[in-house]
């Protein structure tokens, strides 16, 4: 599906047919954004012809390519492979969508398989500042990238909450902590794997002179770079916290095993004392004075209670119970 957005003098037009693009693009101070959802080979070919895209750039934008985030330059055009994220339901793996961007002098194409970013939000921001249109597609690229990068923060917030829940679970020994930590780490590895190269791609946009970006556009991209660095650093922090949580969980479990062992030992000792006394008075010796006592039975029971109680108090004080 192809959706064309044309920005002119702070106005957005979305009703331009693809066929008119060639003509619209020649108008001054006009920016064209073409958004392709699950583009068919025909649509890709049409775009390739219209915007004179390099075959390898176009191949990278085909649905299902699953590539590493990166920047590539093709005579006057720039290909950017990026990823956006979406919050997910509990227990589901992190959700990462590839979004490929090709930018030329006054146009920007996005290729993706769903709607990782909101087209309306992009349009609102672009139309809100018509004076920035003079920076050409660089400004459009900034807005799109900013929306893409911002999709990571809700996901990171979710992960932050998962870690907080995990920490409580670790110290309260609740639930299935280990497998949760494991799937958390999986998610963090998945995010790091796209976020790291995306940060590097943004720095390539910033550092290399790609011709497309004015100095002012680069200043805005600096902001995106800072956001990406924060994403990467947050992932690293969460990774540290997750392995800290696993280590702590190991210690907590060991601790608990120790506590249980001490506990059991104490109760075993108490029962053993009672059993010992009953064993003694269960012996069949002909001459056992206590057996003939009037209150022998009471004596035995009393002895049991006193010894068991004494041990109980002793262990309580020693902290074993």
In terms of CB distance, is 43 or 216 closer to its own copies?
Answer: 216
In terms of CB distance, is 13 or 306 closer to its own copies?
Answer: 306
> 195 — alpha (psi -120 to 50), left (phi > 0) or beta?
alpha
Q: What share of the chain is helix, strand, coil (3-state, %, to 5)?
A: 60, 15, 25
Q: Does 128 interact with its own copies (rule: CB under 8 A)?
A: no
Q: Does 309 interact with its own copies (rule: CB under 8 A)?
A: no
- 10, 93, 240, 318: which one binds its own copies (CB under 8 A): 240
Question: Least Å distance between CB 5 and its own copies?
Answer: 25
User: Tell me, what DSSP letter sits at residue 64?
Assistant: T
| Measured distance CA(205)–CA(198) in Å, rounded | 11
Contact pattern from residue 30 through residue 59 relative to its own copies, giving x for each residue in contact according to CB under 8 A and a dash for the rest: --------------------------x---
Q: Does 125 interact with its own copies (rule: CB under 8 A)?
A: no
| Measured distance CA(298)–CA(293) in Å, rounded | 10
62 CB-near residues (< 8 Å, 6+ apart): 39, 41, 44, 111
Q: Does 256 interact with its own copies (rule: CB under 8 A)?
A: yes
User: Tell me, what DSSP letter sits at residue 86?
Assistant: E
Candidate ranges 2-10, 37-45, 201-209, 233-241; the one touching its own copies (CB under 8 A): 233-241
Q: Which two tokens stand for residue 300?
A: 């035995």
- 16, 123, 273, 307: which one binds its own copies (CB under 8 A): 273
Euclidean distance between the first and the last CA atom of the chain, given in angstroms as a whole number: 69
Q: Are 136 and 214 in contact (CB under 8 A)?
A: yes
Q: Does 271 interact with its own copies (rule: CB under 8 A)?
A: yes
| Measured distance CA(59)–CA(51) in Å, rounded | 14
Angle at 255 between CA 250 and CA 259, to 5 degrees: 150
Q: Does 247 interact with its own copies (rule: CB under 8 A)?
A: yes
CA 316 to chain centre: 46
Q: Does 294 interact with its own copies (rule: CB under 8 A)?
A: yes
Q: 5 φ, ψ to 5°? A: -120, 125
Q: Does 290 interact with its own copies (rule: CB under 8 A)?
A: yes
- 45, 88, 128, 257: which one binds its own copies (CB under 8 A): 257
Q: Does 262 interact with its own copies (rule: CB under 8 A)?
A: yes
Q: Does 233 interact with its own copies (rule: CB under 8 A)?
A: yes
- 10, 279, 302, 309: which one binds its own copies (CB under 8 A): 279
In terms of CB distance, is 95 or 167 closer to its own copies?
Answer: 167
Q: Which of residues 161-200 bind its own copies (CB under 8 A)?
A: 167, 170-171, 176-179, 181-182, 185-186, 189, 193
In terms of CB distance, is 6 or 241 closer to its own copies?
Answer: 241
Residue with tokens 């085909």: 62
């Amino acid at each position: 599906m192809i959706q064309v957005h044309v920005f002119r003098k702070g106005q957005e037009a979305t009703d331009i047919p693809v066929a008119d693009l060639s003509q619209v693009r020649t108008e001054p101070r006009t920016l064209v954004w073409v958004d392709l959802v699950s583009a068919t080979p025909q649509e890709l070919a049409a775009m390739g012809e219209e915007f004179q895209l390099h075959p390898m750039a176009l191949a990278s934008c085909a649905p299902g390519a699953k590539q590493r985030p990166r920047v590539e330059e093709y005579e006057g055009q720039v290909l950017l492979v990026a990823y956006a994220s979406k919050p997910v339901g509990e227990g589901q793996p992190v959700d990462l969508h590839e979004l490929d961007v090709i930018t030329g002098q006054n146009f920007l194409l996005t290729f993706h398989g769903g709607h990782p970013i909101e087209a309306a939000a992009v349009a609102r921001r672009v139309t809100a500042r018509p004076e920035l249109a003079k920076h050409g597609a660089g400004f459009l690229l900034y807005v799109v990238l900013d929306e893409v990068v911002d999709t990571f923060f809700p996901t990171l917030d979710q992960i932050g909450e998962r870690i907080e829940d995990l920490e409580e679970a670790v110290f309260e020994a609740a639930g299935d902590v280990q497998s949760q930590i494991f799937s958390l780490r999986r998610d963090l590895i998945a995010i790091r794997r796209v976020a790291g190269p995306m940060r590097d791609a943004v720095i390539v946009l910033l550092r290399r002179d790609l011709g497309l970006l004015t100095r002012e556009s680069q200043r805005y991209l600096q902001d995106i770079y800072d956001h990406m660095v924060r994403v990467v650093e947050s992932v690293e922090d969460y990774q540290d916290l997750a392995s800290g949580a696993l280590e702590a969980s190991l210690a907590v479990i060991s601790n608990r095993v120790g506590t249980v062992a001490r506990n059991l030992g104490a109760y075993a000792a108490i029962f053993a004392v009672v059993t010992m006394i009953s064993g003694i008075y269960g012996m069949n010796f002909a001459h056992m004075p206590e057996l003939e006592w009037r209150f022998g039975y009471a004596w035995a029971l009393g002895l049991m209670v006193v010894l068991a109680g004494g041990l109980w108090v002793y262990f309580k004080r020693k902290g074993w119970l």
